[in-house]
């Protein structure tokens, strides 16, 4: 560290500057507190599990496969007949059905993977800064004093991989089926029990 009067480098244990004699009692503590406030004590990033993401869109995958095969396949069949192409009747339906059947889980997989790569939660001494999303990026900072409740959820697939979801509720948050309707949802975090305790401790300490 350095003297605030003359800029000479001094030891953390010194009470006076050896160059100008300025009193520096408490300076080291103040500087350490400033560093601590500006340095995140906990940084979290979600863990991506590909097959779980693909499985989660299965209902949409089935629906759009049937819809896409019927809608686009039907219109394409009209074009095939008009152009007198030597294609089987079923070919257009199978083609568009395959496009939707493979395309939807692939899009979900790539989108979530890229989103998780950009997502980060930084817990400082008195606030949380978080960055979420890939196509639509959201950046936000929340003071711990605005967090009124911390909850931990672990779904069946999350338990298999040792992951969990932490819900940080704000005064505007409500609950439906035990899930937060607003607030911050920190999803797919490793060591969820340990992280939950750390976050609770940070928030409790900031409110003392």
pLDDT digits (tens, 9 = 90+) for 114-164: 989 889 999 988 889 988 876 666 788 888 888 888 999 999 999 999 999
User: For 42-83, how does the pLDDT look when each residue is reduced to its tens digit (9 = 90+)?
Assistant: 899 999 999 988 888 999 999 999 999 999 999 998 988 888
As a whole number, mean pLDDT of residues 191-203 equals: 91
What is the phi/psi pair of residue 177, to 5°? Answer: 55, 40
Share of the chain above pLDDT 70, in %: 75
Domain 121-206 belongs to what topology? PH-domain like (2.30.29)
pTM above 0.75, yes or no: no
Query: CA-to-CA distance for 90 and 194, rounded, in angstroms?
Result: 55
pLDDT computed for residue 28 by the predictor = 46
Q: Is 151 exposed, middle or buried (0-12, 13-18, 19+ CB in 10 A)?
A: middle
Neighbours of 197 (CB within 10 A): 13
Lookup: tokens for 83: 């152009």
Q: What's the whole-number average pLDDT of the chain?
A: 82
**From start to end of 46-173, where are the E strands?**
120-123, 127-132, 138-143, 149-153, 163-169
Provide the sign of the torsion angle of the four alpha carbons 85, 90, 91, 97, taken in this order. positive
CA 35 to chain centre: 25
Bigger pLDDT: 30 vs 93? 93
Is residue 145 within 8 Å of 204, Cβ to Cβ?
no
Bigger pLDDT: 39 vs 118? 118
Residue (of 157, 161, 156, 165) closest to 192 by Cα position: 165
How do the domains of the chain map onto residue ranges? Answer: 1-25, 52-115, 121-206
Contacts of residue 106, Cβ cutoff 8 Å, sequence gap at least 6: none
């Amino acid at each position: 560290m350095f003297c605030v009067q003359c800029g000479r480098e001094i030891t953390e244990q010194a009470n006076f500057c050896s160059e100008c004699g300025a009193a520096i009692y408490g300076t080291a503590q103040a500087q350490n507190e400033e560093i601590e406030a500006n340095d995140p004590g906990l940084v979290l990033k979600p863990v991506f599990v590909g097959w779980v993401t693909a499985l989660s869109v299965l209902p949409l995958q089935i629906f759009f496969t049937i819809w896409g095969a019927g809608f686009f396949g039907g219109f394409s069949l009209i074009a095939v007949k008009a152009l007198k192409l030597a294609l089987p009747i079923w070919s257009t339906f199978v083609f568009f059905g395959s496009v939707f059947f493979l395309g939807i889980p692939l899009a979900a997989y790539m989108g979530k993977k890229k989103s998780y790569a950009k997502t980060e939660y930084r817990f400082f001494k008195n606030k949380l800064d978080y960055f979420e999303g890939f196509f639509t990026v959201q950046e936000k900072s929340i003071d711990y004093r605005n967090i009124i409740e911390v909850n931990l959820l672990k779904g069946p697939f999350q338990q298999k991989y040792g992951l969990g979801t932490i819900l940080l509720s704000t005064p505007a948050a409500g609950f439906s089926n035990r899930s937060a309707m607003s607030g911050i949802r920190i999803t797919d975090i490793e060591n969820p029990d340990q992280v939950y305790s750390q976050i609770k401790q940070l928030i409790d300490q900031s409110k003392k």
